[in-house]
Structure 1
Amino acid sequence: MALRLEPLVVRHTHRLPAPTAPAGQGAVAARQFDAALLSVGFKLSAALLERLSGLSEEAVVAVAARTLATVREMVGDHVEHNVYFVDFPANVPDTFDFWMRCIAEALADDVSRAGTPAQLGTGAVDLLTLPSYGSYAHTYAEMLAAHGELIAAAGDRLTVLHPGGTLEDEVTALYLALAGSTTPLGEEALRDLGALAGHCVDGPQPAAIPVRENRAVVNLARLDAGAPLLLDTVTDVLRLACALSDGDVTLLEPTRFRSLSRPVRRALLAGLDAVVAAAPAKLADVSAHREAFKRLGERLHPHEYPRWPHAAEVFAVARGEQQVRSFDSRVEELFAAQDVTGAARLLTAAPGRLFRALDRLLRACRTQDERDAVVAAAEQVAPQVAGRVLLSVREYFHNRPRQPGERRVFVNRRGRGWVTADTRPPVLPPECERLIAALDAELRRRLPAPGHLLIDPDILDVALPLSGNATAAGLGVLPRGSLSPVDGDLLRFFVYWKQTSRTTDFDLSALLLDAEYGTVGWLSWTELTQVEGEHSGDITDAPDGASEFIDLRLGSVRGDFIVPQVNVYAGEGFDEVEESFFGFMLREAEQQGRPFEARTVRMKSELRGPGRVALPLVFLRGADGSWRAKWLHLHLQGDPQANQVEGNQMSVATLVRGIVERDHLTVRHLTDLLAERATATTLWDGTTVPKGPVTYVGLGRPQGLHPDSVVVTPENLRDLIPG
């Protein structure tokens, strides 16, 4: 049973659980396994290679088969990446010449010959009617034969797999880490938590599950197993009901509730009854999701269960038959009376709401005494506020526009982004500075004493993962706002998609912008070649999967920003296709190889989300000519059909500017605070590690760390956020 969870452990921790297998002579098989991993950019650590070498050859082969399948999918090498132009990036034609060739071939084709001249007579030709446009003219094997072997380079990605504990111990530890996370998880991690929770329902449980979405997923597993539910608000029951209907446990999107069995209805009603009986004031929470509770009541039939009268009150409040004054209404009454001090005083009873209302409170202040009272209220309740909220508010006030009219960037939980002018009155700098100082003091108090702190400098500009929704699932993916260096001569983007049931055309494009975010040019299916690079050609149908690539020579790029994007031109969206992902590779000038080489992949992220235009990241040129990537994880609504880079260049540039110019809170901030409590702080040079235990913060776990070390890498970066 637990074996099916092994890939989750590998993906989330880069550890390989210890196999339960007899001892033997597995050294040869282990070295072959290591060599196979190298071909896709992975490697066994010395300790893991030694462990596997002591097992039987059959056991090593079985572990290798499972692990290779997992890591190949992690990097996107589990599918065949073909290209339209068989020897891409060589011999990519000029766009106009290529289109003329397609027309000539259509005129020579018996089937299309009759219709093509009529289109030419109108002055426009639909490329999709040309037989040779949009579909592979060669097999995957023929494409491979046109390319030589990849020349290995020192800069190729190498992801090290380390030895783990027993599979059961690793599964339990991963469950506890995800369930007890202090920050919301992304969609993939929530799905993984559901699988882990079902397996671990009878085992150890986290001391607390602070994120409500996580609690809903855990409760779903507990309900299936007949275990007691973890409920302390009426909204917990609503989230569980959404999970039962495969709906949105964040409650952002409406859920269509399914018919529920009697045992499930009884469990939900009993849970509601217990919550309200213990704290009748929690009925006030119903009004925030009144319509959802009304629809849930239609499925639960509370009138059939008179033994739970408090549950019936929930639905009476939702229907307006029972009046309960909400906390928010009392706050709004004080705002309406311009009693800012009174509103701040009342909000101290709900510290999280006070912090989320700080900007509004400060804008409403008319005197210095009122401003002082608001800041004092925040200082008073700061110890009761979640760490991620403290950090979010700190980042917010650090970036708070001081003048009306500046750009304001909005990004919702699903990555949908938009920009508007900020028309709010300013918040005065003294209050911002006082709040920031108070938040830093509280964060400093909560952070643990790290002992010897060992820091990989490459992680310092990684943004703190204040929400899992700011990071797509994948390999080498960093939170929105993170900066990472780009080292290589050739930058290659790729997109892969496989449609579910109808013809679907994704288009990979790259927009080039100057220092003022003006358009310099682009690469796409309408502009196959530029001085800087080449497009691999347009694929317009993907029943068996399809790939597109863009090459850019970084030394020749005009402009200061490179914005790769994926446009849905026709068919299914990102949430509808069977599979889709984006990534980029870096190669040296002398490296050739196939269009897709797994060990040159630096990042591969899943393409899921709203809208019809995806913006995974942007590349920025520095003053010294070097390039860095800044992670976006954004989606634009786009049009229902025919999205093109030419049509969205203004909106893309505006949104990119808003993210690029925002000062995100990074790992550097927390490591600076940690360093104040450390016995020693060392910047890791990439080679030697201290002999004793350390607290290591970096992009990847170094080999040779003391076993008692605390290790924080992007896979568990959320552990750095204090509770």
Structure 2
Amino acid sequence: MILQETALNSLKGVYIDPKCQSAHDVISQDTVYTFMLEMIHLNYILEKPVIDDLCKLSSVEGGKFLKDFLSIIQKNIGAHVKYEPMYPNFPQQVMNASDVELVLNAILHYWSFGAWRPVYIKEKRVELDEKNPLEKLKLISLDDLREYFITLINSKTGIPVIYDEFIREGLNLGWFEDYKAKFPEIPFRVTSCKLAVECLKQGKSIDYFVKTTTDVLRIMAVYSGQPPELDKVVKFKSMRRKERRVLIQNLERVISVEDVKRHTSIWIRAFHCLHVGEYGGKVNEIASRFRNENNVATKNTALCKAIEASDIDTAVKILKNLPSMFARYLDKLLRDSQHDQETLLEFSNIAAGVESKILLQALGHFKGNNKVEQKTVFAKSKLILIEKKENQKVLANSVAVKVVDTIRKALVEKYKLLNHFNKDSKVYITKEAEGILLPMQLNTGSNSNKRSIARGSRLLPNEADLDKNIIRFFVYWVGRDIDLSGVFLAEDLETTSYINYTNLREGYAVHSGDITSAPNGASEFIDIDITKALADGFRYVEMSVRVFSGPNFVEHEECFAGYMMRQEAQAGEIFEPSTVRTKMDLVCETRDINPFMFDLVTKELIWLDIPSHPKVFGPNNVNVNINQIKETLKASLELPLLKVNMRELLDLHVEAGSATIVDDPKDANFVVGLGDGDLDLYDFATINSKWI
């Protein structure tokens, strides 16, 4: 199943296992035809090679294959469950109901602890008659999947956890040997450590994966079921003696006092878990130092002291031999330096030695110089706002412009070596590239979604949705009380309103009713009338999903959310698979999530996928947490000012190859598209592996 899922979600196609096919006893054409009609109902259409191969399915295996594949698609868009909101004739039923009816129903539902719900006759609805985009599915081979595995592993940034099972399958199929034949190492250390754990458990060598001290620590964390990012206290599992010996042998080869000091408290636990005293050697000596000395000096001690004392000349002398670290400290060095031009000159001399990923991060930082009041950091589970320190020197915009120019020149020189374009290349770049940020900081551990997009990215509506006026949010869960809310912001980002269980309707939006208990599953919906919301002065609307009572999302049996685009609110079923545009499985370790928001003027979807922690007092609803939500949304809207977008990256490659940008894809020999083209902007793995 995992190969079929990856083929569908990542390669936009169908993988058919040859074992399911037969040369003689094949499935009936009527069965294949019925399957094709079901696919069209779900907005998918099959290319001819796919149909031809489906007709070769055996009569024994074919039916099961088609049923399993259909279930994958249904689950992708949320069509695999039954939706029963509080008010079955939503939205008109809620808009027409009296205040007394709505309040009385809510009180009785709450008094019964969610067991009682009002009984209404479901009225016949007008048949849905709307255009929706069809997605073509191509035929995917096992070689295609192997190549995608290699591309995924070669990504320079984090890989979402939804790919973990595919990576394990690729490892079992021997695809990693093909990777090792092409590349000397895995560029992203967290990915490397995940693979190392699988090899360690299988008794295979992990020498290829261990390049630094921290690699061993990450391997131990992943082995223990903990996050590899080492951003919280790690509880290590007991390991077999053979496994400990393998880790110690690798650690002896790479251990560095500097690396140990970066995670001192975690390493002290790790040394204890590894029983380093049994082995002696360099590892045991360093472990003893960190147990017995309060502040172990390292080679970086002089650098830290110099930066703390604003001794920029000394710091620069040290950093000239550490290019990537120089780039990370560049902002502070320039702000504290009395001779910023000399400091910048020293950086320009070594800029070519800085990793391209770090250069791109620095490029985004300096292009946003003085454009926001506070820097925003989206940590794994919460939003961190970093205020400017009192009396902190402001970096002059003229200096920032020179830094940007220096970084761009360094990147262009690097990208000349990649040789994606040449002087004969005619490149068409879709307009969406301007709104999509580089996929370098994806939410890799919280939510499961077939789209992997960077936070703050903007997606234009497809042509079929341009005239649609209704955005319909939905959430489905099994368990206790989860609440769906819509938060509205005006242009000033201060004026707010919200639709939730405390306020079921306004002139521009309506909620389907609050359900507080769902042992067998429940759903809630919100309709937003774009025209009316704009008329009432609102520019943005954000979806908020919160656990009012009960465990974190990940502890629920099932929970997902998404949105639909509708022309007529009362037409079709409340949940219509063909109108679903995004569905996200909520599996984060928090009790609230901000999946996305809409710019109602442009109809752009603004991708958020931001889990956070609610306030510790009062009910966990948007009413209490509105200020926190506003901070999150403001910060998200500012991200394009501080990050590099895909158009900017592609312009660097065009300049590197002396290529020409054309305005019409028909005139191009290389097309950058959204969901299609020679480079697909949704294909984060290819972008991170080959273009960053």
Deviation of 1:50 after TM superposition, in Å, equals 3.9
Q: 1:483 aligns with which of 458, 463, 471?
A: 458
Distance (Å, rounded) in 2 between the aligned partners of 1:286 and 1:390: 26
Cα gap change, 1:532 to 1:506, in 2 (>3 Å): same
Distance (Å, rounded) in 1 between the aligned partners of 2:205 and 2:246: 9
Deviation of 1:409 after TM superposition, in Å, equals 2.1
Distance (Å, rounded) in 2 between the aligned partners of 1:27 and 1:68: 17
What corresponds to 1:408 in structure 2? 375
Structural mapping, 1:421-440, within 5 Å: 421-423=387-389, 424-440=392-408
Cα gap change, 1:634 to 1:350, in 2 (>3 Å): same
Cα gap change, 1:651 to 1:596, in 2 (>3 Å): same
Q: Contact 2:7–2:14 at 8 Å: present in 1 too? A: yes
What corresponds to 1:160 in structure 2? 136
Deviation of 1:80 after TM superposition, in Å, equals 2.4
The answer to whether 1:528 aligns with 2:530 is no
Deviation of 1:665 after TM superposition, in Å, equals 2.1
Q: 1:380 aligns with which of 349, 366, 377?
A: 349
Q: Contact 1:415–1:469 at 8 Å: present in 2 too? A: no
What corresponds to 2:70 in structure 1? 68
What corresponds to 1:310 in structure 2? 282
Q: Secondary structure at the match of 2:157?
A: coil
Q: Secondary structure at the match of 1:560?
A: strand
The answer to whether 1:445 aligns with 2:413 is yes
Percent identity over the alignment?
Answer: 22
Deviation of 1:410 after TM superposition, in Å, equals 2.5
Distance (Å, rounded) in 1 between the aligned partners of 2:460 and 2:659: 30
Q: Secondary structure at the match of 2:148?
A: helix
The answer to whether 1:497 aligns with 2:482 is no
The answer to whether 1:696 aligns with 2:671 is yes
**CA offsets, 1:83-111, max 9 Å, x none?**
111111121155842354338x95xxxxx
What corresponds to 1:645 in structure 2? 622
Q: Contact 1:388–1:721 at 8 Å: present in 2 too? A: no
What corresponds to 2:4 in structure 1? 6
Q: Which amino acid aligns with 2:41?
A: S
Q: Secondary structure at the match of 1:545?
A: strand
What corresponds to 2:210 in structure 1? 231
The answer to whether 1:36 aligns with 2:38 is yes
What corresponds to 1:117 in structure 2? none
Corresponding pairs, count: 661
Q: Secondary structure at the match of 1:372?
A: helix
What corresponds to 1:659 in structure 2? 636
Cα gap change, 1:544 to 1:130, in 2 (>3 Å): closer
The answer to whether 1:350 aligns with 2:322 is yes
Q: Contact 2:46–2:136 at 8 Å: present in 1 too? A: yes
Cα gap change, 1:128 to 1:252, in 2 (>3 Å): same
Unaligned 5+ residue runs, structure 1? 107-126, 277-281, 703-708
Q: Contact 2:94–2:511 at 8 Å: present in 1 too? A: yes
What corresponds to 1:189 in structure 2? 163
Distance (Å, rounded) in 1 between the aligned partners of 2:46 and 2:227: 39
Cα gap change, 1:320 to 1:430, in 2 (>3 Å): farther
Unaligned 5+ residue runs, structure 2? none
Cα gap change, 1:198 to 1:130, in 2 (>3 Å): same
Distance (Å, rounded) in 2 between the aligned partners of 1:589 and 1:580: 27
Distance (Å, rounded) in 1 between the aligned partners of 2:599 and 2:483: 22
Deviation of 1:290 after TM superposition, in Å, equals 1.2
Q: Secondary structure at the match of 1:493?
A: strand
**CA offsets, 1:255-310, max 9 Å, x none?**
2111111111111111112224xxxxx2321111111111112221122234xx12
Q: Which amino acid aligns with 2:5?
A: P
Q: Secondary structure at the match of 2:486?
A: strand
Which is further off, 561-570 or 463-472? 463-472
Cα gap change, 1:161 to 1:264, in 2 (>3 Å): same
Deviation of 1:491 after TM superposition, in Å, equals 0.3
Cα gap change, 1:560 to 1:135, in 2 (>3 Å): farther
Cα gap change, 1:361 to 1:594, in 2 (>3 Å): same
Q: Secondary structure at the match of 2:609?
A: strand
Q: Which amino acid aligns with 1:587?
A: R
Q: 2:192 aligns with which of 205, 215, 219?
A: 215
Cα gap change, 1:192 to 1:684, in 2 (>3 Å): farther
What corresponds to 1:91 in structure 2? 93
Structural mapping, 1:604-683, within 5 Å: 604-609=583-588, 611-622=590-601, 626-640=602-616, 642-662=619-639, 663=641, 664-676=643-655, 677=657, 681-683=661-663
Structural mapping, 1:266-281, within 5 Å: 266-276=245-255
Cα gap change, 1:243 to 1:352, in 2 (>3 Å): same
Which is further off, 664-673 or 314-323? 314-323
Q: Secondary structure at the match of 2:87?
A: coil
Q: Secondary structure at the match of 2:513?
A: coil
Q: 2:83 aligns with which of 81, 84, 106?
A: 81
What corresponds to 2:385 in structure 1? 419
Distance (Å, rounded) in 2 between the aligned partners of 1:101 and 1:296: 58
Deviation of 1:651 after TM superposition, in Å, equals 2.4
Q: Which amino acid aligns with 2:163?
A: A
Q: Contact 2:152–2:686 at 8 Å: present in 1 too? A: no
Q: Contact 1:75–1:475 at 8 Å: present in 2 too? A: no
Which is further off, 640-649 or 209-218? 640-649
What corresponds to 1:399 in structure 2? 368
The answer to whether 1:506 aligns with 2:482 is yes
Q: Contact 2:452–2:682 at 8 Å: present in 1 too? A: no
The answer to whether 1:22 aligns with 2:22 is yes
Q: Contact 1:26–1:52 at 8 Å: present in 2 too? A: no
Q: Secondary structure at the match of 2:86?
A: coil
Q: Which amino acid aligns with 1:529?
A: R
What is the TM-score normalised by the length of structure 1? 0.84
Q: Contact 1:464–1:479 at 8 Å: present in 2 too? A: yes
Q: Contact 2:290–2:296 at 8 Å: present in 1 too? A: no
Q: Contact 1:291–1:318 at 8 Å: present in 2 too? A: no
Q: Which amino acid aligns with 1:353?
A: M
Q: Contact 1:186–1:468 at 8 Å: present in 2 too? A: yes
Deviation of 1:607 after TM superposition, in Å, equals 2.4
What corresponds to 1:473 in structure 2? 448
Q: Contact 1:454–1:683 at 8 Å: present in 2 too? A: yes
Q: Which amino acid aligns with 1:11?
A: N
Q: Contact 1:95–1:528 at 8 Å: present in 2 too? A: no
**CA offsets, 1:40-69, max 9 Å, x none?**
222223443344345556565443222212
Q: Which amino acid aligns with 1:473?
A: S
Distance (Å, rounded) in 1 between the aligned partners of 2:335 and 2:580: 47
Cα gap change, 1:312 to 1:150, in 2 (>3 Å): farther
Q: Which amino acid aligns with 2:504?
A: L
**CA offsets, 1:219-252, max 9 Å, x none?**
0111123222121111111110011100111111
Alignment RMSD (CA, Å): 2.9
Q: Which amino acid aligns with 1:449?
A: H
What corresponds to 1:123 in structure 2? none
Which is further off, 610-619 or 48-57? 48-57
Q: Which amino acid aligns with 1:228?
A: S
Distance (Å, rounded) in 2 between the aligned partners of 1:467 and 1:506: 28
**CA offsets, 1:149-173, max 9 Å, x none?**
752422x24332221122xx24422
Q: Contact 1:449–1:678 at 8 Å: present in 2 too? A: no
Q: Secondary structure at the match of 2:588?
A: coil
Deviation of 1:188 after TM superposition, in Å, equals 2.5
Q: Contact 1:316–1:322 at 8 Å: present in 2 too? A: no
Which is further off, 378-387 or 532-541? 378-387
Cα gap change, 1:555 to 1:710, in 2 (>3 Å): closer
